[in-house]
Structure 1
Amino acid sequence: MPLAPTRQIVEAAREAGRGVAAFNVITLEHAEAIVAGAEAAGTPVILQISENAVAYHHGNVFPIALASAAIADGAGVEVSLHLDHVEDQQLLHRAADAGFSSVMYDASKLDFADNVAATRDAARWGRTNGLYVEAELGAVGGKGGAHTPGVRTDPDEAARFVADTEVDALAVAVGSSHAMTERTASLDFDLIARIRETVGVPLVLHGSSGVADTDLQAAVRSGIVKVNIGTILNVAFTNAVRQALTDPSLVDPRKYLTQARVDVAAVAERLAATVSSPI
């Protein structure tokens, strides 16, 4: 079916008391596997491409975005396309032309006032161009950063931030970290619930690969709607390739990428079903 708007998928999940998985796409095989997993789970899914992934593709967002959109077009479930962790203004301004219906504009490295100012401008531009805009308040750790309770999202600041920026969704720092390869993160469910009570937009959990399945479900019950997942897919992908390449005669990439795609699809199916389970 044609690409669905991210707003439609997120709002439907929120109204039903469910979460929706947003999986990171790096290669064509990622997109194929994620959609296959979502179809097997029978649930909508969000394909998201980060600024880092665009940089991997020589800074050109269009090939991987258009390929992902083509895969979504043949899916048996609703699929949307989301541009994630964007800091570059030029990339932000290419989002709509590349087929994205939503973007996460990330000014979270700035102090509160500057984050508000930059995000407000991005959200206004996004609305003018038909984009659903997510932003981040607090500091989700990983990728060279440290995550401590002192940088978690403050509920009162979150309310002011959403009111001042008029963003559509808010990513919050509640105990998860990016790039975790072990599922040992400890989420603050009370904090999630308090933030949900103070803001009127869907909440997003970044760094969800480090969170156990049961805790992902608890996070949704506490107020998370969109659940971002990336690293755990790459672990499955890499493990499959690594195991296949113990055979020194293997040179055809189809022989090892096929198994990588199968394994990623299995992880995506499980996690998509996990976060979309009714409360």
Structure 2
Amino acid sequence: ERSGLSLALNTARGGLRILETLGVVGRQGLGWALGDRPPVPALLRTTFESLGTTYIKLGQFIASSPSIFPEEYVEEFQRCLDRTPPLPFHYIRETIESELGDSLETLYQFVDPKPLASASIAQVHAAKLKNGQDVVIKVQRPGVKNVLLTDFNFLYFAARITERLAPGLSRSAISGVIEELQAGMLEECDFIKEAGNLKAFNVFLRDTGNSQAIAPEPVMSHTTGKVLTMERFFGVPLTDMNVLKKYTDDPAGTLISALNTWFSSLMLCDFFHADVHAG
């Protein structure tokens, strides 16, 4: 009975999500027809943001692929990397308290209500532990997993129809790419796994004698599948050369160290970062 009820609930949520998707696309199309016509890249970006998690992730893919997409689209979708519309703080509080089983004031000395960053799957807030350690809290957006499953199933179905209608497209295996993206994004919803990866990456850096890079250590007492608390690093984007020069006498060497670390992880580590964003 429980599995039947769960199936019914998930089916209902999936149906509502499809209706929501069609509603967003319909509103944007109506606005265009009535004369509200921003540049196409901006219209597409705001549509993706309104559609939420899955489409924001696709927007991040566009932002990180200048060799595939036109420059104006790449620049516009840079906003999807860490500047998507933030969730109200009460959602963040509710998720943390539900996951960690205590009040925010008991768990942390301080949590900044203003997010450091907001992206497709999670939102990040600066905080302090009771012992005064600076940390950041990565909090998963509500219902993300169900949204991903519904959206990608919808996209997969659409891709299969497209491949059947245009057999030449099947060579590009669009549906296969969508399956891979779905599997990868569902893994990103497991913050316990991510915490394990942080620990494993620091071990990898030590084992390879790499003293030029470090990953933040997770705080496991304040971490669950949907909430990840980790050591806070203070820094600047590698893409902002003028700011970077204030922190190092050798910005080029810093960039080279970052690239060497990534390539060594690609060759020698059990896993590597396959979704590298600018900065």
Question: Smaller-chain TM-score range?
Answer: under 0.3
Name the larger-Rg structure: 2
Q: Which has the higher helix share?
A: 2
Give 1 or 2: higher strand fraction: 1
Q: TM-score, normalised by structure 2?
A: 0.25
- Which structure has more relative contact order (CA 8 Å, sep 6+)? It is 1
When normalised by structure 1's length, the TM-score is 0.25
